[in-house]
Amino acid sequence: MERIKVREYFEGEFDLPGDKSVTHRAIMLNGGAEGEAVITNALMGEDCLSTCSCMRSLGAEIDVDGTTLRVKGTQRFRRGKELNCGNSGTTIRLLTGYVAGKEIDAKLYGDESLSSRPMKRVAEPLALLGANVQTTDGHAPVYVAPEKLHGADVTLNVASAQVKSAVLLAGISAEGETSVTEPVKSRDHTERMLTAMGADLRVDGNKVTIKKSTLQAIDVCVPSDISSAAYFMALGALKGDTLCKNVGINPTRTGILTAFDRLGIQYSLLNERMSGGEATADILVKKSYMQGITLTAEDVPAMIDELPLVALLCAFADGESRITGAKELRVKESDRIRTTVELIRNIGGECEELPDGFIIRGKKKLQGGDIDSYLDHRIAMTGAVALIASENGGYIHRPECCAISFPDFFDKLGLKLF
The rounded distance, in Å, linking the Cα atoms of 342 and 203 is 40
Q: How far is the CB of 314 from ligand S3P (least distance, A)?
A: 20
The piece of 154-162, 202-210, 213-221, 267-275 that touches ligand S3P (CB under 6 A) is 154-162
Closest CA to 263 of 295, 226, 241: 295
Residue 74 is a binding residue for ligand S3P (CB under 6 A): no
> Among residue numbers 176 through 235, which ones bind ligand S3P (CB under 6 A)?
186-187
Closest CA to 83 of 63, 64, 102: 102
Q: How far is the CB of 328 from ligand S3P (least distance, A)?
A: 6
3-state SS, residue 238 = helix
Residue 246 is a binding residue for ligand S3P (CB under 6 A): no
Q: How far is the CB of 20 from ligand S3P (least distance, A)?
A: 7
Burial of 400 (0-12, 13-18, 19+ CB in 10 A): middle
Q: How far is the CB of 248 from ligand S3P (least distance, A)?
A: 12
Burial of 63 (0-12, 13-18, 19+ CB in 10 A): exposed
The rounded distance, in Å, linking the Cα atoms of 87 and 256 is 24
* DSSP character string of 175-191: BSEEEEE-SS----HHH
Q: Which of 188, 225, 305, 372 is catalytic?
A: 305
Q: Is 219 a catalytic residue?
A: no
Are the CB atoms for 122 and 163 separated by under 8 Å?
Answer: yes
Binding-site string for ligand S3P from residue 89 to residue 118, where x marks contact by CB under 6 A and - marks none: -x----------------------------
Interface with ligand S3P: number of residues (CB under 6 A): 12
Question: Cis before residue 399, ω within 30 degrees of 0?
Answer: no
Q: Which is nearer to ligand S3P, 179 or 250 (CB)?
A: 250
| Binder of ligand S3P out of 161, 217, 257, 375 (CB under 6 A) | 161
Q: How many helices (H) and strands (E) does the chain have?
A: 13, 23
Q: How far is the CB of 239 from ligand S3P (least distance, A)?
A: 26
> Among residue numbers 267 through 306, which ones bind ligand S3P (CB under 6 A)?
304-305
Q: Are strands 12-15 and 242-248 parallel, antiparallel or unpaired?
A: parallel
The piece of 137-145, 160-168, 172-180, 275-283 that touches ligand S3P (CB under 6 A) is 160-168
Q: Which is nearer to ligand S3P, 113 or 346 (CB)?
A: 113
Are the CB atoms for 92 and 331 separated by under 8 Å?
Answer: no
* DSSP character string of 104-134: --EEEE--HHHHTS--HHHHHHHHHTT-EEE
Q: Which is nearer to ligand S3P, 23 or 346 (CB)?
A: 23
Q: How far is the CB of 162 from ligand S3P (least distance, A)?
A: 4
Residue 128 is a binding residue for ligand S3P (CB under 6 A): no
The dihedral through the CA atoms of 339, 259, 399, 68 has a sign that is: positive
| Binder of ligand S3P out of 3, 9, 21, 174 (CB under 6 A) | 21
> Among residue numbers 321 through 340, which ones bind ligand S3P (CB under 6 A)?
328
**Which sequence positions are flagged as catalytic?**
305
Under the rule (CB under 6 A), what is the footprint of ligand S3P?
Answer: 21, 24, 90, 160-162, 165, 186-187, 304-305, 328
